[in-house]
Amino acid sequence: MDRTQCCLSLSVQPSRGLMDEKFIVLIQNGPPGFKLTVHAFHQSEDGHKWEAFGHYTADATGTVNVSEDLSLGGTYSGVEPMGLLWSLIPVPGSKPGLRMRRLNIQIPMEVTISVYQGHQTEGFVDQVSLASVLVERWYMAPGVRRIPITEGGLTAMLFLPPGPGPFPGVLDLWGGGGKLVEYRSALLASHGFASLALDYLTNKITIETGKLVDNKYFETAYSILQQHPQVLGSRIAMVGLSLGCAITFKMAVYSDVFKLSCAVCISGSHVQPVDGSLEQMMSFFQENAQKIRVTEENHAIMRDLLLPIPADSSFKVDVGQLQCPLLLVVGEDDQNWPAHESAMDIKEMMERAGNSHLLTVLSYPNTGHLIEPPYTAHARASNFISASSGEKFIALWGGEKVAHSYAQEDAWRKMLLFLRENLYAGRNPVLPPSSHL
């Protein structure tokens, strides 16, 4: 086919949307039966380049609808409306161990979607596309406010939804890599929750003193969120991932300050020295470091650190005392944390205590540790720097790309529903303002 004779058109709707919003990619005016490649390209903030692509054949009207038509090959296959995002991989020649993470959530993730003639698998940079569209993916909806919080010695960022509020609150904790991770909180605020992202491993206090924070640090964060004039102080949830779950369990059960309406724990465990501080918790993990396995590819498997799940109650948070609804999200192929085994033990403990009616478990086969917001590119293994030890290695997170991506989409939808049901009970929920992007 002569490119000069091609009147092929490409549209992406919406071309500007939230990160968890689906889009429709439509190619029209091609010849019937025309073979083409739909390609997505993204250059991340660290300069690394990522791509995804699918192979399609135009129908009798010369049309391809990515939301409805089969991809015959590429980085994904089958009918996959959002495969151009979740199957993004580093371009050939990239260094190993890359993981895509959004750092500056005040600007969008930009993805160029293009159409190429034929079923191509490489060399896209050297070819001229038949059509291209620039797509913006945002974590912050219009009107979401981003407010640094340093009161009480905190290193935190508060995200407030558009409007006067007051809004239900979420205290958002990430895992052992430390740093202030903002993108999940920004997206939660885009869905109507005042979300406080908290750095508890690489915060100002720890940098200045060299000591890990104590439980008071988390109680201060909770109190500041609770007392904010645009937050419903009686309706606060806690969301933790990985190590953040250990903090969430401990605060939810043992703290006299925390009065949570509900809690969400993603890829975490209740196993820890109950009477210990964060420093003692990290020491406990370090003492078991000999249990870390290394694959032939030199990827570290850390799930055995907490296995077998101890019978000794002094090394497990007593979830039988939990008094708020709990949502556990676990991947059954988590190679970093024994999340599935922990969930089964938590279920058993709560059944014995008579509070299992508070528990919901979402357990996903072939899903790894890093269960992120929808359409985030899956990383089975990636570079990791421990915030506590400074050690650098490639961590094996686990998960199979397609199953993991489905789990991310399903878990996010159900988590938002769980938060709305428990934080907006008796109130009209704030609908995501994605249509205003």
Catalytic residues: 242, 334, 369
CA 370 to CA 176: how far, in whole Å? 12
How far is CA 151 from its chain centroid? Answer: 27
Query: Please, which residues have CB within 8 angstroms of residue 89's CB and are 6 or more apart in sequence?
Result: 50, 51, 52, 75, 377
Closest CA to 424 of 251, 249, 234, 263: 234
DSSP letters, 115-146, are: EEES---S-GGGS--SEEEEEEEESS-TT-EE
State which H helix or E strand residue 234 sits in. Answer: strand 231-241
3-state secondary structure of 366: coil
Query: Please, which residues have CB within 8 angstroms of residue 390's CB and are 6 or more apart in sequence?
Result: none
CA 27 to CA 178: how far, in whole Å? 43
Question: Facing residues of 384 across strands?
Answer: 393
Residue 352, class by beta-carbon neighbours within 10 Å (0-12 exposed, 13-18 middle, 19+ buried)?
A: exposed
DSSP letters, 288-357, are: TGGG-EE-TT-EEE-GGGG-SPPS-GGGB--GGG--S-EEEEEETT-SSS-HHHHHHHHHHHHHHHT-GG
